[in-house]
Amino acid sequence: MNGIKKSADILEKIMNLIFVICGLIAVAFVILITVFLIISGVPAIKEIGITDFLMGDVWASTAENPSYGILPFITTSVFGTLGAIFIGVPIGLLCAVFLAETEYRGIAGIVSRAVDLLAGIPSVVYGLLGMIIIVPAVREIFGLPDGANLFSAIIVLTIMILPAVISVSETAVRAVPKEYKEASLALGATKTETIFKVIVPAAKSGILTAVVLGIGRAIGEAMAVMMVSGNVANMPGIFKSVRFLTTAVASEMSYSSGLQREALFSIALVLFVFIMIINIILNIIVKKEKR
């Protein structure tokens, strides 16, 4: 018995060590990425000037007199992400409530499998479908010369964030104790009132986590939005061709050199800092809600 116990203790220590090492590897990767982006991105910001870089509204990296203002990319990324969240979160939350609370389990099973399928589709496929279906539809419906614009990108991003929002929100709704629902119904509340005044508020922290994941997916997407947004460095307008922070890097990195290449690394650094700030703010909110 003592031998078996010693073997179990040794195995436990080995597994704990493996877990610690895996955690440290994840932290090391984050530190390495941060250091690499700082080393690669800061020199261009110094040379261009932080004000001209962040607040300049003209990006002409291949012109005779190049200009490296990324304000159009920043505002486009902000508006595109907010638009996708504004449309996608309500749809995703209502779908999650349906999956968790519906009595029609057969239909819920079909919807759940469809959501899982959406999560596994590559982003380039979303972009291709957007080019074939959404862009022509937007052009015809609104009478535009070109349907590749910010609105089309928002629609594609909305579809792409739905799986994350739905799955995490559904888990949060299912985690609410049944006693909450039973007590509300016993007090005379309808099922709809119980869902939106009791269950959803109780699952608020989990829903906010779903929003965080949705924002991360939306703001970090490159290939799909590049295929449907027009990829032009304009200040954002709902029916204007635009370029996101991610697409700016993806579209020019292959042929860039010199200051242009360094400026693209600076864009990546700005995007990295931007995502970190959003995650920190939303995580603080989530922790407050949990308390």
Alpha carbon distance 185, 146 (integer Å)? 52
Tell me the residue ranges of DSSP E strands in the chain.
Answer: 59-60, 67-68
Closest CA to 154 of 237, 94, 96: 237
- What are the tens digits of pLDDT across the range 30-73? 899 889 988 988 989 888 888 888 898 888 888 888 888 899 99
Is the pLDDT score of 156 beyond 90? yes
Query: Tokens 């490159």 correspond to what residue?
Result: 222
Q: How confident is the model at residue 102 (pLDDT cuts 50, 70, 90)?
A: confident
pLDDT computed for residue 106 by the predictor = 83
Question: Residue 274 CB: number of other CB atoms within 10 A?
Answer: 16
Residue 152's pLDDT band, with cuts at 50, 70 and 90, is very high
Indicate the pTM of the whole model: 0.86
- Please, are residues 29 and 42 in contact by the beta-carbon 8 Å criterion? no
Q: Is residue 59 helix, strand or coil?
A: strand
Residue 3's pLDDT is 63
Q: Write out the two tokens for 232.
A: 């032009």
pLDDT in tens, 117-137: 888 888 889 999 999 999 999
Q: Please state whether beta strands 59-60 and 67-68 pair in parallel, antiparallel, or not at all (unpaired).
A: antiparallel
Query: What per-residue confidence (pLDDT) applies to 1?
Result: 58
Amino acid at 9: D
Q: How far apart are the first and last CA of the chain?
A: 45
Bridge partners of residue 233, in order along the sequence: none
- pLDDT on residue 133: 92
Residue 285: predicted pLDDT: 74
241 close to 148: Cβ distance less than 8 angstroms = yes
All domains of the chain, ordered by start, with CATH?
Answer: 59-290 (1.10.3720.10)
Reduced to 3 states (helix: H, G, I; strand: E, B; else coil), residue 205 is helix
